[in-house]
Structure 1
Amino acid sequence: DEVEKAHTDVFNVLLQILDEGRLTDSKGRSVDFKNTIIIMTSNIGSQILLENVKDSGKIDDATEKAVMNSLNAYFKPEILNRMDDIVLFKPLTVDDMQMIVDKILINLNIRLMDQRITLEISDEAAKWMGETAYEPQFGARPLKRFVQRHVETPLARMMIKENLPEGTIVRGDLKDGDIHFEVEKPQRTQHEN
């Protein structure tokens, strides 16, 4: 992740792996990397992409060339020449963020299944999270923290404070610029009384 921040010694190790398909330590022990895929990420050129990617998500040739020039200016040719491919990713859109919110909430509900608790977030609240946490230069990380701060942490506190029984439904809706929760505990039957 963010390979440009790596120490120069890391690049020397990478060169050995990419060139020879193995890594040998100072004691002569070797590790085989021949059947390994190495994925490196970088933010070099990300500002160029943010400023020039079309609304359609298309990266034009001039933008791609500008990003490649930035990479060539930063990395030594021997590193770049050993990479099989360089993939440019378009910045996330508000719509992308909305899909990520939905996925985060689905995963949260899966985690809640063990306690037999259901979380229902209104469309308005989900849309607010995606739009409010949208920072194209930082990707989805701020969104994850935003959902933790506005949904997961309040929900965890509620679960501890109110000792929510199995079958509880927690509904979150947007109210006064934040998410407010209502708890619907299951009805007790006469048999349980």
Structure 2
Amino acid sequence: KALQARLQKMDLRLEVAPAALAELAKVGFDPVFGARPLKRAIQQRIENPLSKLLLEGRYPPKSVIPVGVDPVRNPGVFEFGDALAMG
């Protein structure tokens, strides 16, 4: 929610594919700590790489940022697609 709010201030929206959500759930869950590690997983896998892309100017205002994961080609690695126009 905090990430979405920050992106909304920049006129951007994140669109996370179901496979990416499943991967986040997998890496963000620990049997001992439950979902506590989820916040760290979101920071490491989405927020940090996305910050670099935003600084590079890859996503102009009024863009949708697609986030996915390819379990065959690049398992566990989140991929950020090209900017899509907000509809």
CA contact (8 A) 2:58 2:83 kept: no
Q: TM-score, normalised by structure 2?
A: 0.81
Retained in 2: the 8 A contact 1:173–1:180? yes
Find the counterpart in structure 2 of residue 183 from structure 1: 82
| Alignment correspondent of 1:141 | 36
Q: Secondary structure at the match of 2:82?
A: strand
Please report how far the alpha carbon of residue 139 of structure 1 lies from its aligned counterpart in structure 2 after TM superposition: 2.7
CA apart distance, 1:136: 1.9
In 1, the alpha carbon distance for the partners of 2:79 and 2:63 equals: 16
Equivalent in the alignment of 1:58: none
Question: Map of 1:1-193 to 2, 5 A cutoff?
Answer: 106-162=1-57, 164-175=59-70, 176-177=74-75, 178-184=77-83, 186=85
Mapped partners of 2:36, 2:82: distance in 1: 29
**By percentage of residues, which structure has more strand?**
2
**Aligned mates of 2:20, 2:58 — CA distance in 1:** 25
Tell me the C-alpha RMSD between the 2 structures.
1.6
* Matched position secondary structure for 2:81: strand
The separation in 1 between residues aligned to 2:5 and 2:63, in whole angstroms, is 14
Letter in 2 for 1:168: S
TM-superposed CA distance for 1:180, in Å, is 0.4
Looking at secondary structure, tell me which structure has more helix per residue: 1
Partner amino acid, structure 2, of 1:130:
A
Structure 1, unaligned runs of 5 or more: 1-105, 187-193
Task: Choose between structure 1 and 2 for higher RCO, CA contacts under 8 A separated by at least 6 residues.
Answer: 2
Unaligned runs of 5+ in 2: none
Larger radius of gyration: 1
Q: How many residues align?
A: 81
